[in-house]
Amino acid sequence: MQIKEVSKMGEEPKMEGHLFPRIGWNWVDHKRAFAFSNCVITERDIDSRSGSGVEGMNLHVSAEFSESGNDRQKTLELLNILNVHPREMLPLFLCHVAALLNLDLARFKKAPALTLWLGGQSGSGKTSLARALGTILNTGDEDYDSITAAYAKSADVVDLLSKYHGLVFILDDVKGESAGRKERRRQNVDICVRTTEGQRIVETFRKEQRGLLNRKLDVGCIITGELSDNPVSTAARMVYVEVENFVNEQDASEALGKLQKNPEILNDVVAGIIRFLCSHLEDESYLTELVARKEQFWQNGKRFFFGSNQSRLANTLSSLELSLSVTVDFMQSCGVGDSFDLRRWQKEMEGVCEDLMRQTFRRLTKEDQLLVDSFREVWGDLKIQRARRIYELYGEEAIMPQLFVVQSQMDGIFIPDLSWILDRKDESPKGALVLRWDRLQEKLTRKMVELSRRYKYREEHSLVVDPGRLRRAGLIHWEKRPDGSHNNVLPYPVAVTDMCSGGEEMDEQTCVCLNLQAAIFEDVRSEFSFDAERDSVMFLDEIADREYRKIQALSADMGTIARAVRKIKMMTEVKG
């Protein structure tokens, strides 16, 4: 084969018979093309007379690839396989689509960079699944494997990563062995995750690799094996896929066998998506739409998570959903929607993506996620009393203390500004939301039992609800005692019904005070700040964040709350 070497991207030679400088996206005659070692895909077809000068990264498609209707037929075949076990199989396919989008969306800082972690016991089928669905490459060399061992030299891992443009890199068999291999494994995992997230080489290990540092990439990554002891911040950048006993389930084994015997099913579909993107990514309006989709998915995804990793987890979920939406665009273009309800399938698969990220979140936060999920669902059922217009009838010098007593039918009370109770009118407003512990504990316990069944929690988790657990989850205020222990509760005046007389009397009940600064209470802050009585001096100031439109409440600390409660009790005793 006579081929002409292309030294610069953007030169204008004829398409046929060209040697491209790298694997992945290239341009000729101002046209987009995707190069493998043995062929090049364009918007029109596949050209086996051209290729990349990088060896060992071949793509083999079926003989029918160029025929009309092949995209539709192969896509339907792949759908039938993915739908057998979508939780385990779909994310691997979406990783290919995300890798193809990385280069273009990185211009807008929206690259859907995906890293998957296939976890599960030894022999569950993690490596088999990664080989069948995680790569479309054929090295053409039986002695060379396109999957890299997790304990390989880190310098070799960097060399390989630098070649994977628009493709998925696989780091396999992450398990505990010798101390040296464990450290190398940990380092290689960290390199892969940071490289994929940043879409650039972040670390080098040889002098000759210095030129690779900060080189831009467009790569996806799959890691298999036991979940290691890498930092939580590293794990938060991944999608955790629990493989369990996948290979030993008959329907899963049969689906996997089809892919292993007919790799061209996956190869043809991914090649078809490449051909689709060759034209669509050159359309600025389509690219702008993808950027807007990514942003919307990210905004919507934040409601599923809390804490310091909220944004990272929502970003990963948005990458899954964006890749899914582009897959649906491709399916529509090749006629799959004519015989298949794509919108319904997309909705179901979005649910799968959400479940995967919830599972990832639970792996990071363990039992706290069950607690926080339960709190989110319980919150709407809590009856919160609001102390409105304290000065409406009596002026600034008088206070109706009864408005601060939690009534018997209520679960808690919102006090918008403690500084007025403490005669500190010059201070910034400090709000408090106090809940009766007996009511909250009862509702949370019931909901945790319900959710543990609904979510089918497999990891160890506790259904015991105590104030210490809420403190560790960052949901309530607390005070550290001189002996180092924690005070998580406080007595608060509550009106209780007298069983003999039927009347009400005041009693002190154990209560907790919510930490209004916690991310989970963003909606709560907004709800109470935008109350109908917002013009009253008793309500919180608004601090608008133009990017996220958040309302930030300046929450009081435990000491301030305790002093305010003592003052309320004194007022109640005098004027009650």
Please state, for a pLDDT cut of 70, what percent of the chain lies above it.
74
Q: 3-class DSSP state for residue 3?
A: coil
Whether the predicted model's global pTM rises above the 0.85 cut = no
Q: Which pLDDT score, from 0 to 100, does residue 555 have?
A: 44
Q: Which pLDDT score, from 0 to 100, does residue 362 have?
A: 74
- Evaluate whether 18 touches 42 at the Cβ level (below 8 Å): no
DSSP code, position 11:
-
Which tens digit of pLDDT belongs to each residue from 392-405?
Answer: 444 444 444 556 77
Cα angle for residues 174, 180, 185 (degrees, 5° grid): 25
Number of H helices, E strands in the chain: 17, 19
CA 142 to chain centre: 38
- Evaluate whether 420 touches 556 at the Cβ level (below 8 Å): no
Alpha carbon distance 326, 317 (integer Å): 14
Q: Return the amino acid letter for 567.
A: K
pLDDT mean by block of 10 residues, the chain; 576 residues: 33 61 89 93 91 90 90 95 94 97 94 91 87 81 61 86 91 66 82 88 84 86 76 78 86 92 94 96 95 94 74 92 97 91 94 91 70 84 70 44 73 74 57 88 92 63 85 82 78 73 72 80 60 32 24 46 66 47
Candidates 134, 133, 98, 127; CA nearest to 316 is 98
HEC string for 485-547: CEECCEEEEEEEECCCCCCEEEEEEEEEEECCCCHHHHHHHHHHHCCCCCCCCCCCCCCECCC
Q: Which residues contact 418 (CB under 8 A, 6 or more apart)?
A: 430, 431, 432, 556, 560, 561, 564
Alpha carbon distance 54, 21 (integer Å): 8
Two tokens at 406? 């939690």
Which tens digit of pLDDT belongs to each residue from 195-225?
Answer: 888 888 888 888 888 888 888 889 999 999 8
Q: Which pLDDT score, from 0 to 100, does residue 544 have?
A: 21
Q: Which residues contact 559 (CB under 8 A, 6 or more apart)?
A: 479
537-564: buried (b, 16+ CB within 10 Å) or exposed (e) per residue?
A: ebbbeeeeeeeeeebbbbbbebebbbeb
Cα angle for residues 480, 482, 484 (degrees, 5° grid): 60
CA 282 to chain centre: 29
Other beta carbons within 10 Å of 322: 26
Q: Which pLDDT score, from 0 to 100, does residue 177 have?
A: 58
